[in-house]
Structure 1
Amino acid sequence: MYRLLLSLLLPVLLLTCGPAPEDNIPPDVPQLSTLPLLPLPAEITDGEGVSYYKTYAGDMTPSSDATIGDAQRYLQQRMPGLILPLQYRTSERLAEGAYRIDFADGEIEIQASDRDGMLNAVKTLAQVLHFSGADAGAVYISEGEISDTPRYAYRGFMLDVARHFFNPEEVKQVVDRIAAYKINHLHLHLSDDQGWRIEIKGYPRLTEVGAATEVDGTPGGFYTQAEYSDLVDYAQQRGITVIPEIDMPGHTNAALSAYPILNVDGEEVQPYTGTNVGFSTFDVDQDSVYVFINDVVEQLAALTPGPYIHLGGDESDATDHEDYVRFIDEVQQIVQQHGKTAIGWDEVATSKLAPGTVVQLWAHPEYALQAKEAGNPVLMSPATRTYLDMQYDSTSRIGLHWAAYIEVDSAYLWDPATLAPGISDGDILGIEAPLWSETVRTLEDIDYLTFPRLLALAEVGWTPQDRREWEDFKRRLRAQVEWLEAQGVGVYASRVLE
């Protein structure tokens, strides 16, 4: 079943658009399959001709149809003032997130079954337009079609705002950067030993005390609930689901410094501005701890339309294992009671996993296998491949290297389906690239560690494994790096692209 939806300004476009005279077609119009698209679509079929598309400067009123309105807005923001003869069709035959773009006879037709598919389509289209010269005005595009579907439903980026705080405008800039490459989840690490970053009604000391500092003792910060909701809306409009994380029972010193009653001995603890881990824990035997967690989760669930809340669960060295298992069991139930699905770092697989709880592999493949055997999905974030806070090499100006040095080739040349014995594609929800912020202070630092490695990981999460090829990826990445730099994004000068 199809439903036809046309772009605005259609009466003008139909009268003025069409194939250019053959003698005006440039001789070097690239075929669709040679454009440096990233992530690489699942299938690109080249046609035989070239179409001319006259572009129009002006404003466009997006459709009120929920399926295509955000896609139209995204394309307008990405390519401001540029209007093309676009047709949008909804097709129930396409899978979730999938799309098809046909370039023929002076028209561009986009098909998708849902909003995510439409957004994915226009993100690819923006790259086709840029690399075909549409930024400069009239454009020629080789005829053909792009048929595309994501390898994994979840393609994520994590930003640690707890160790160093980034204000809402900085986070929005991050959203704009990652959305262009079909990253569709933003995991915000909102609490840790060094800081608590979200307003919780009824607990003012979380922001008065817990949010006041960060690593190195510099002033911290926090998001009001209104600011957080605005960030969630901003990301959602660009096809990104926000996932809030409250790390527990360890990594909790900021909360303990605000409310000592949550501590095992009830004694006041000082704010922490170092980078050690594993020394803090909630008092898992105390009812008031679970009342507190319930209040936090209830408010976050109300503010977050996405399906997930991340409960942390990593490096809880100060919590006895039996206490840890009991705590994780209880917190999973709290998350479910508020209509959300829990995600936890891979240590949570040592507990009794609730149905649907997602286990995020970062260090322990054996825990991911336990999750698979329990029937729970696995999210791939192996520290040796995906941790963007790792240095590229020993000369990197910031970053750590406890897991590995991760150059662009290391980020690209791996297959999630063969990483952990016993786990295949069907067990994997997706991949996520975390950026921990021990050494990150500015948006420039975020750019330095994120780009171009995130583009490699975006392709790992999107493109079929048998379509990925290192030398071709490098060719496409070089072109994307030039475009990023032209947009003011700071990109690390990777030696593998020289």
Structure 2
Amino acid sequence: MGRFWTRKTVLLAVGVVAALTIVLVVTLDLGGGTDDGPAGSGGSPTSSTPSHTPRPAGPDEAGPAPSTIPAVQKWRPEIGKGWKPDRDRSRVVADSQGPAVDEARLLARELGLKASSGPARDGDVELVVDPEASGMRESYQLASRAGRVTITAPDDAGVFYGTRTLLQSVRAQGRVSEGLVRDRPDRPQRGFMLDIARKHFSADWIADRIREMGDLKLNQLQLHLSDDQAFRVQSTRHPEVVSDPHLTKKQVRDLIRLASSRHITVVPEIDSPGHLGAVLKAHPDLQLRDTAGRATPGAIDIANPKAARLVDSLLDEYADLFPGPYWHLGGDEYQALTRSNPGASYPGLAQAARQRHGAGATVQDLATAWLNDRAKTVRAHDKTPQVWNDGMHRGGVVKPQRDRQVTYWTGTEYGARQPEEYLREGWKVVNLNDKYLYYVLGEPNQFTYPTGEAIYREWTPAVLRGSKAVPKSLSGPDRVLGGRFAVWCDLKDAQTPEQVARGIRLPLMATAQKLWDPGTPKRDWADFRALADKVE
């Protein structure tokens, strides 16, 4: 982030001698630069709080910035004692018919205060949605002045994030200092991905993660619903594919409702044409087999029209259950493409490719066309498709359709390429770098559990593969849209759900910090860890 604030002049009255008022002019250097520097413009933010535990300000002092995760982008301190909740006097005020009423009720519950329709008075927190307010949808301004806090934003999402800043600051410092916060995220997609296919997680466990995500200003939860091991959501069209235990549709709706209250979009994923083993157990006639008759693990026969009808039926069924704007189609690790000569190993696929796409088409083209067709299915429900990067192949007769986003996780799988190649081709990319953001249970295949410290010190949205960032010209928020911290359950019994929750706590916090502000944090890692204990 850029450096945001110009030098401020503060007049401090220091005494009266022989009826003469002596005024001491004190200049505070708060970092230089301007108040409207763009997020992600380079350099280190001046807004993060110091690395020591800040003390409350006195009535004639400027207090510390709010202590929050992620840290606020811009902070201008002012003279005064700030605001702290008074259970006998303070209220959370919002228009009872306005868009911020739910945020007001939630914050009031969390602080032990009353919610009110106003008008606001001294001691209150007032939430205001002002469509004319400057800034992006998720931006907000928090003003703490004269014993009152006002949070203003162009959308209720921004208001919600302002309440998270206030709540964490009260938890960590007991108050909000006198001053002005102007805050906004650097990246529009900030998320957590959970593999509920290989390992069942209860609805209550997922709900707890949603609450954590909301406090960290994360806004996407990707749920990997199905894989070779299990299919974990109730289906009325195809109950034969569903595994036990699983989430009922009612439980999913309740989770989506909770996520919506925290301004989190739930992104469902039904991976295909690979990772469909659970579905294929119920539909063995659609299992892909090689020339020797051996089943190819997890792979559906994409030459068989029944395969497309089955998967599209599932996509159509869940489109209304998941009302968000994104749908993840998978596309990774289709094992037919890993053979040295896919056409020879799977002559049926090769023949279908030539019949449908011309004499020069190959099995790769058939796989690309499969994802294009599934993308068309979800676009009919007004969803933006997302796919894993190794499902986006170089060359070929059939090209990936443009209206999709690429979730980049690997540069080593078949079909995977360097991240710069996708970016130079104009694709919008979401970062799921498997070195930093993959928490794979049991640590198979040379994976190791990522640490929050490594993410905090080394990773940014521009670090898409390994530890090297892509060029700045390719890594802006319009190109790399954000990232997600992912839990994969390859060895599902390696950890209990409680152990997973503890293991991902600090990595998820560090990810939230670097997605909100990719700049070098002001706090050192030890201080960040200490703050984590205070803000929860």
State the TM-score, normalizing by the size of structure 1: 0.78
Partner residue in 1 for 2:10: none
Whether 1:402 and 2:446 are equivalent positions in the alignment is: yes
Displacement after TM superposition at 1:44 (Å) = 1.1
Displacement after TM superposition at 1:132 (Å) = 2.6
Whether 1:352 and 2:399 are equivalent positions in the alignment is: yes
| Most deviating of 295-304 and 88-97 | 88-97
Change (3 A) 1:32 1:347: farther
**Contact 1:87–1:108 under 8 Å retained in 2:** yes
Change (3 A) 1:434 1:72: same
Partner residue in 2 for 1:16: none
Partner residue in 2 for 1:78: 110
Q: Distance between the aligned counterparts of 2:460 and 2:364, measured in 1? A: 32
Q: Percent identity?
A: 25
**Contact 1:359–1:368 under 8 Å retained in 2:** no
Q: Distance between the aligned counterparts of 1:353 and 1:70, measured in 2? A: 41
Summarize deviations over 1:28-79 as a string: whole Å, max 9, x none: 4156545431101111111121135452269989754453123213313433
Summarize deviations over 1:439-471 as a string: whole Å, max 9, x none: 455331221221111111101100152x52451
Displacement after TM superposition at 1:90 (Å) = 2.7
3-state SS of the aligned residue for 1:299? helix
Q: Distance between the aligned counterparts of 1:46 and 1:229, measured in 2? A: 43
Partner residue in 2 for 1:226: 250
Partner residue in 1 for 2:187: 152
Q: Which has the higher helix share?
A: 1
Whether 1:330 and 2:409 are equivalent positions in the alignment is: no
Structure 1 stretches of 5 or more lacking a match?
1-26, 134-139, 213-220, 273-277, 391-397, 485-498
Change (3 A) 1:300 1:447: same
The code of the aligned residue for 1:361 comes to Y
Partner residue in 2 for 1:475: 527
Partner residue in 1 for 2:149: 108
Summarize deviations over 1:154-186 as a string: whole Å, max 9, x none: 100011101101121111111112211011100
3-state SS of the aligned residue for 1:246? strand
**Contact 2:388–2:409 under 8 Å retained in 1:** yes
Q: Distance between the aligned counterparts of 2:74 and 2:261, measured in 1? A: 27
**Contact 2:194–2:223 under 8 Å retained in 1:** yes
**Contact 1:42–1:148 under 8 Å retained in 2:** yes
**Contact 2:234–2:249 under 8 Å retained in 1:** yes
Q: Residue 289 of structure 1: which of 301, 307, 310 is its match? A: 307
Whether 1:118 and 2:159 are equivalent positions in the alignment is: yes
Partner residue in 2 for 1:8: none
Q: Distance between the aligned counterparts of 1:206 and 1:76, measured in 2? A: 44
**Contact 2:424–2:474 under 8 Å retained in 1:** no
Change (3 A) 1:352 1:73: farther
**Contact 1:32–1:44 under 8 Å retained in 2:** no
The code of the aligned residue for 1:366 comes to R
Displacement after TM superposition at 1:334 (Å) = 1.4
Partner residue in 2 for 1:205: 240
Change (3 A) 1:147 1:483: closer
**Contact 1:380–1:431 under 8 Å retained in 2:** yes
Structure 2 stretches of 5 or more lacking a match?
1-53, 116-122, 338-362, 464-468
Partner residue in 2 for 1:414: 459
**Contact 2:461–2:518 under 8 Å retained in 1:** no
Change (3 A) 1:246 1:66: farther
Displacement after TM superposition at 1:114 (Å) = 0.4
Change (3 A) 1:420 1:405: farther
Partner residue in 2 for 1:438: 490
3-state SS of the aligned residue for 1:173? helix
3-state SS of the aligned residue for 1:196? coil
| Most deviating of 256-265 and 157-166 | 256-265
Summarize deviations over 1:78-100 as a string: whole Å, max 9, x none: 33446660122233212110001
Displacement after TM superposition at 1:376 (Å) = 2.4
3-state SS of the aligned residue for 1:127? helix
Q: Distance between the aligned counterparts of 1:241 and 1:193, measured in 2? A: 26
Q: Distance between the aligned counterparts of 1:295 and 1:183, measured in 2? A: 31
**Contact 2:66–2:177 under 8 Å retained in 1:** no
Change (3 A) 1:366 1:423: farther
Q: Distance between the aligned counterparts of 2:511 and 2:486, measured in 1? A: 11
Partner residue in 2 for 1:427: 479
Q: Residue 29 of structure 1: which of 32, 56, 77 is its match? A: 56
Partner residue in 1 for 2:510: 456
Q: Residue 94 of structure 1: which of 135, 140, 152 is its match? A: 135
Q: Distance between the aligned counterparts of 2:390 and 2:74, measured in 1? A: 38
What are the residue-to-residue correspondences of 1:2-41 with 2, within 5 Å?
A: 28-29=55-56, 33-41=64-72
Change (3 A) 1:33 1:300: farther
